[in-house]
Amino acid sequence: MSLNITQTEINTLWDKGYRPFEIYTSNPEPVMYHGKMEETNAVGGWDIKHIFATRDEIENYPNFDCIIMIDSVAYCTEIFHGNEDNTNCLTKNQTKAMEVLVKSGMENTGAKCIEDMMDDPMPVVQASDLVKSGWSQKQAEGTFGSLVASGHILHDEGGNAANDLYVLDGEEEKFENLRQFVAPKETSETLIDELEKWRLAQGFKAMCAMELIYEYELTPKQSTWIENFMKRWDNLDKI
């Protein structure tokens, strides 16, 4: 047995809901994959782990991708207790997801800042918000589910299907728990730096976004990135 615990200890954990999981994890850091630089957690099925954990906590495992199957305790190499004692402890992937979801929640309510959200204390969010920001459907559902399990997103069943909503937890005084996920305000300097990093990753010559459109035959994904970048640039004077 790989776990350095007794059968009695295993039985105790089993009674608390622990089960042996075989899971896929995503890449733990940026990697070159099929000739392209991919960000952390962008490549699913990167590694296989055998973890003894609860069903609620397994999705909080660092770089979690998906569950392959219920395994045997004999194959487990690690016990993962997750965030049972600290729901504010998030992985990098979950933190990035919360930044995206808070931004989406603000857009959905027309809020320009956290203070504006206090007038609508139940900003609705969905896993599809993460898909729009680059997560795959599977990754989005897994990450979103882990944030529901950790209490960062609340499931408001509302008594009927029409009101079965997922909302950001804004119960703390002045929404301080959400304020930490608000990204710094964009500036021309931060956007220029972002464009430069993206350009280098794509192997493009030094030029502005508009010139890139005419200079290269862009893929649909590259075109979408450029278009979104130009919209953000145009919105700088509106912030």
Digit-coded pLDDT (tens) for 27-51: 888 888 888 888 888 888 889 999 9
Please give the pLDDT value at position 119.
60
Mean pLDDT, residues 92-117: 80
Phi, psi of 168 (to 5 degrees): -70, 140
Angle at 58 between CA 55 and CA 40, to 5 degrees: 150
- Ranges 13-17, 82-86, 122-126, most confident: 13-17
- Residues 180/172, Cβ–Cβ less than 8 Å: no
Average pLDDT, the chain: 79
Q: Which residue did the predictor score with more confidence, 114 or 223?
A: 223
83 vs 149: CA distance, rounded Å: 9
Q: Which residue did the predictor score with more confidence, 87 or 21?
A: 21
169 vs 196: CA distance, rounded Å: 36
Q: Enumerate domains of the chain plus CATH numbers.
A: 7-79 (no CATH), 92-179 (1.10.10), 188-238 (no CATH)
Digit-coded pLDDT (tens) for 173-199: 456 667 777 766 667 888 888 888 888
Digit-coded pLDDT (tens) for 123-172: 788 888 988 888 888 888 888 887 877 778 877 665 444 445 677 765 54
138 vs 165: CA distance, rounded Å: 20
